[in-house]
Amino acid sequence: MRPLTPKRIIGSCAILCAVLFVAVVFSLRTGAYPISIRDIVLTLFHGIIGRRDQVPSEFWSVVFTIRLPRIALAILVGAALSTAGAGFQALLRNPLADPYVLGVSSGAALGAILSLIFAPHTVGAIQVAAFIGAGLTIAAVYFLGRRGGQLDSATLLLAGIVAASFLSAIIMFLMTTITGHELRGMAFWLMGDLSAPPPASNVLGWFGFLFLAFFIAAGAIYSTSSDLNLILTGEQEARHLGVNVNRVKLVVYVAASVLTGLAVSVSGAIGYVGLLVPHVMRMLFGSDYRMLIPASAIGGAVAIVFADMLARTIVAPTELPVGAMTAVAGAPVFIYLMRRRVR
Amino acid sequence: MASSQQAVAVKDAAPRLRVEQASFAYSATDRSAPAFSLGPISFEAHRREMVSILGPNASGKSTLLRLIAGVLRPLSGRIEVDGAEVTALEMRLRAQRIALVSQESELLFPLRVWEYVLQGRYPYGRRLRFESSDDCVLAGNALAQVGADPLRDRWMDQISGGEKQRVILARAMAQQPSLLLLDEPTQHLDIGGKLELLRRLRRLADENRYTVIVVTHELNLAAEFSDRIVLMHRGKCLRVGAPAEVYERGLIEEVFEAPVEVEIRPSGRPRVVLRG
Amino acid sequence: MFRRSVLALIAASAALLLGAAARASASLPARGAASTRVLTDEVGRRVTIRGKVRRIVTLSPDLTETIYALGLQNELVGDTDYCDTPPAAKLKPHVGSAREPNLEAVIALHPDLVLASGTINWLQTVEALTRAGLAVYTAYPRTVDGMLTSFEHIADAAGAAPRGVALEANLRKRLAAVHSALAGSPAARVLFVEWESPLMTIGRNTFIADALRRAGAESVIESRQNWPDISIEEALRLQPDYIIFPADSGESSAHRLAELRAQSGWDALDAVKLGRVEVVSQQIERPSVGLVDVIEKLAHDLHPGAFAEHASAAGCEGNGGACAL
C-alpha cells in the first residue's frame, strides 16, 4: 500500500516539466527566420537583464514578439483545456467528455462572429466578445442543467448538447446571411489557431492576467480532487462519506468552464486535447485526481507546444492551424485508447 | 472481575442509537414518490448489537434507514447517535460516526482495492488530504478483518461479486464508525453467501463494538442473527424487541400476508415456516 | 522546504521571462537619421516608414500586380504563393499564403515596407508584423474609384509618388473613354455568377458590382448581402440579358455556354438560348490594374455597337499584361 504523497506528485511534475522544457527549446528553434540557438539564448539573456540595445532588432522581434508569445499561449491553452477536460470527465461521469461538450466553444464562437461583424477592426474585440459569449453560455447551461436545484450529470450533458446545437445553428445562419470578408476568420475559431498576437500592447499584463486566471481556476478544481476521487466511485457513496457533492459539482463546473472559455477566447477551439491528455495521463500516472490534475495541465502544455511546432514545420513556409495537428494526431490515439478499454 | 464486567455492562447500556418519535412523509406534490408517511417510531440500539429493521416491501424500512443515516430530515422527533442529533452534524463528522454500506460500486476508472478502502478515511483531516501511515494501518486492518487482505493489490473490476462486497464493507469500516447501516445486503447472495455475510457482521459488531442496523425482509435470517427486531408495516412500527418477542404468529401473518407457523428452536430463536 | 524552494524557482523564472517579454512591447529605438514618414493607411492605422523604401513584400496577388504596374518590381523581395500575375512574380521568394503568411519569413526578408490587402489579409497578421517592428500599409479599396486612389497611395508609401500619379491618370483616362463611349447606351442587365452551386451572385455594395457598372452592366439582383445565394428560379423570373462567369484558368465562353445548355434550368434562360454568356478574367474580383482591362473588354463585348465608332485607344490587350505607360 503506497498512498500518493505530495512528494511523489512533485517528483512526477518535475519530470513532466523537464519534458515541457525540452519542448519549449525545440519550439524556440523552430521558425522560418534564420537564427541560431546561440543567438536565441543571447537574445533571451539580454532581454532578461534588460539590455535590449545589445540585440539586433530583428532577433528581438522574432524571439520576443513572435516565438515566445506563441509558446506562452500554447502552454496556457494546453494546460487550460486539459485541466478542464479532466474536470468535466469527473463532473459528467463520462470518459468521453471533452471541454466543448457543454457548448462553451459555440458560445465563444458566436461572440467572435458578432465582434467580427460589428467591430472588425478593433484590436482585442474578438477575445473579449468570445469570452463574454462563453460566460453567457456557461450561465445558461448551468440553469438548464439543474434538476431539483442541483447540478445533475445527465441533465447537464443534455443541456450542453442542446446549447451547442442551438448556438451552432445561429452561427450557421449568420455565416450564410452576412457573408463577406468580415467572416474570413471563422475557420480560426472552428479549428484553433495560435498565431494571433496578444491583443494588448502590454504583453506582460496580458499573459499575467491569463496565467493568473488559469491558476485560480485550476487551483479551485485541484482543491476538490480528493472529493472527485470519491465521487467517481458513486455520488451517493461519496455523500455518505461526507463529501459535499453539490458544492463540488458547482465549483468544478464553473472552474472548468472558465478554463475552457479562456482557452477558446484566445485561440479558438483546439480539439482533442481536453479529451485525450487526461486519458494518457491516467495511463501513465493513475486515476487519482490529486496527481491527474497537475499531470494533465503540464501534459496538455507539452502536447500543444509540440503540435504547434509541427503545425509550423510540416508544410513550411505555410502554417497549418494547430487544431489540424491535434486532430490528425489525436484520432489515432483516441482509437488506440478505445481499443484498450474494450480489451 | 464482576464489578468491571458490571462497568462494561453499564457503559454498553447507554444507547448508541436513539430514535425518538421520528416521523417522515413524502410530500403530496412530489410526484416521484408515492404519498407515504412514516412513523412516529421510537427504539434504541446499543453497542455490539445487531438490529434488523424487518418488514415486507414498501413498509418504510429504507426510509427509516435513511432517516437514521441523516440523509433525510425527520418531520418530527429526533434521531441521535452517541448523544448527537444526526441531522445537526456536519457531513464529515456524521461520516465519522455513521457508515452506510452500499450494494454496488459503479467505478468509472480503474482503482485498486487498497485505494478504494483508503477512501474510507476521507472524513478525517482536511478536504484535500493525503493519507498518513495511520490511515494505511487502519485500512489494512479493515481489509484483514473482512478476510480480503490478499486482494489488496488487485483491481476493483477484477474481483468477484462476493469479494467486492467484502471490500465495500472494509471501506465502511475504515471510517471507524459507531453505526454500520446496511440496506438489504443479502439480496443478491445465495444462502451460503447470506450466512457468511451475517456471521461476519455479527463478529464485527462484537470485535469492533459496532452497532449494526440491517434492513431486510428475510424473516429467519433476521431471527437467527439479530439481537433486536424492529417490525415495520405500512410505515408504522408495530413492535420492537428480541426476535422471540416480536415473532408472534398473528402479527407475522398480518404483516406479511401469508399463512405461517412460528416455532421456537432450542437456541431460543424463532423460526417461521409456511403453513399448509 | 523542498517544495517551497521549487515553487520559488518556478515563480522566479516565470517572472524573469515575462518581464523580458514586457520590454518587447516598449517602443523601438530609432533606426537612423534618414527621413521618417508617418502615413495613415486605408484602414485607419498609422504607418511609420523609415528611410528610403528599397525592399517591399506584398501579401496578396493584387498588390503584387500593382507593384509591377508601378514598375517597382526590382524592389519587390517577396510575395505570396499565389501571386502569378504577371508570371515573373512566381519567381520571387514566397512567404506563404495570403491568409496565413509565415511571419518569420516576412521578417527574414528585411522589408522596408509590407503591403497588405484589407480584403484578404487579417488584422491579426498586420498587427503581428507591426508588433515585430515592420511598416505595414494596408490597402482597402471598396470601389473602382477607391482602387485608383489606392494605387497612388501605395506608390506614395513606396516613395514613388510620381509613378502612382501617372498610373492613376492613365487608368482614369481609359475608364473615361469607356464611359463616354457608353454614354447613352442603357446598361445591360446581367447576372454575375460567382459560384454555380449553390448559385451565388454579388450584392450591390461589392467591388465587382462597381466594376460591372463601369462596364455598362447592372446586376439584376439587388441585395445588401455581399454574396447572396439565389435559386435558379429567381434567375428565370428576371431573365437577364447576359450571364457572366469569372474564369477558371483558360476557359472560353463557348465552352461554358455548351455546359450550360446541357443543364436543366439553365437551358431555359434566354441568355443561354441566345448564347449571351460571357466568361471574364478572374481579375474582375480583384482591385488590380488588370481590372481596367477586364472592364474595357467586357464593355466591348456587351455593347459592341457603342464602340464601333471608337477605335481602342490604349495599347493594352488581353488579360494580365502590364500596361505600358
Measured CA to CA, the distance from residue B232 to residue B238 in angstroms comes to: 6
- pLDDT at residue C288 in the model: 86
* Residue A222 with chain B: CB contacts under 8 Å: 128
- pLDDT at residue C18 in the model: 54
C141 in Cβ contact with C147 (< 8 Å): yes
Measured CA to CA, the distance from residue A225 to residue A251 in angstroms comes to: 11
Residue of C3, C10, C25 to mutate when probing chain A, most A C-beta within 10 A: C25
* Residue A287 with chain B: CB contacts under 8 Å: 109-111
Measured CA to CA, the distance from residue C27 to residue C32 in angstroms comes to: 15
- Supply the DSSP string of C158-198, one letter for each residue: TT-HHHHHHHHHHHHHHHHHHHHHHTTSPPEEEEE-SBTTT
Report the gap between the CA of A177 and the closest CA in chain C (Å).
Answer: 7
Q: Mind listing the pLDDT tens digit for each residue in B210-240?
A: 999 999 999 999 999 999 999 999 989 999 9
| Cβ within 8 Å, pair B130-A3 | yes
Domain boundaries, chain B: 96-177
B227 in Cβ contact with B242 (< 8 Å): yes
* pTM across the whole model: 0.83
- pLDDT at residue C26 in the model: 44
Is position C219 within any domain? yes
Report residue B235 as a C-alpha cell: 410505515
Measured CA to CA, the distance from residue A341 to residue A120 in angstroms comes to: 47
For C207, the domain range is 187-280
* Residue B116 with chain A: CB contacts under 8 Å: 233
- The residues of chain B scoring below 50 in pLDDT are 1, 7, 10-11
pLDDT in tens for each of the 325 residues of chain C? 555 665 666 666 656 655 554 454 444 444 444 688 999 999 888 999 988 999 999 999 999 999 999 999 899 999 988 888 788 888 889 988 888 788 889 999 999 999 999 888 888 888 889 988 899 999 998 889 999 999 999 999 998 899 999 999 999 999 999 999 888 888 889 999 888 877 888 888 888 899 999 888 899 888 887 788 888 888 888 889 999 888 866 678 888 888 888 888 888 888 888 888 888 888 888 888 888 988 998 888 888 888 776 554 444 444 444 444 3
- pLDDT at residue C25 in the model: 43
Touching C: A residues 174-213, CB under 8 Å = 176-181, 184-185, 195-197, 199, 201-205, 207-208, 211
Q: For cell 509540440, what's the residue?
A: A306
Q: Which helix (H) or strand (E) holds B80?
A: strand B76-81
- pLDDT at residue C323 in the model: 45
What are the Cα distances from residue C238, in Å, to B49, B138, C190, C219, C273? 94, 87, 10, 11, 15
Is position C303 within any domain? no
Domain boundaries, chain A: 8-342
CATH fold group of domain A8-342: ABC transporter involved in vitamin B12 uptake, BtuC (1.10.3470)
**Angle ∠(A299,A189,C61) on CA atoms, nearest 5:** 115
* Residue C103 with chain A: CB contacts under 8 Å: 32, 66, 195
C21 in Cβ contact with A68 (< 8 Å): yes
| Cβ within 8 Å, pair A205-C108 | no
Mark out the alpha helices in chain A (DSSP H runs): 6-29, 37-49, 57-60, 68-91, 104-118, 125-144, 153-177, 186-191, 203-223, 225-231, 235-240, 245-267, 273-285, 289-313, 322-342
> Chain A contact for C229, CB < 8 A?
yes
- pLDDT at residue C4 in the model: 66
CA dihedral A239, A243, A245, A250 (to 10 degrees): 170
Chains B and A touch (3+ CB pairs under 8 A): yes
| Cβ within 8 Å, pair B105-A237 | yes
Q: What ipTM was reported for this prediction? A: 0.87
- The residues of chain A scoring below 70 in pLDDT are 121, 178-189, 316-317, 341-343
Touching A: C residues 126-165, CB under 8 Å = 127-128, 131-134
> Which of C140, C170, C200 finishes a domain?
C170
- List the CATH number of the domain containing C97: 3.40.50.1980
- pLDDT at residue C324 in the model: 42
Same-domain pairing of C163 and C40: yes
Chains B and C touch (3+ CB pairs under 8 A): no
Q: What is the CA radius of gyration of chain B?
A: 19
Residues of A with CB under 8 A from a CB of B: 1, 3-6, 90, 93, 95, 222-227, 229-230, 232-234, 236-237, 239-244, 282, 287-288, 290
| Cβ within 8 Å, pair A242-B94 | yes
What are the Cα distances from residue C193, in Å, to A177, C39, C125, C284, C320? 17, 38, 31, 12, 21
Of B108, B129, B152, the CB nearest to A226: B129
B48 in Cβ contact with B12 (< 8 Å): yes
> Chain A contact for C119, CB < 8 A?
yes
Of A72, A179, A204, the CB nearest to C225: A179
Residues in chain C, overall count:
325
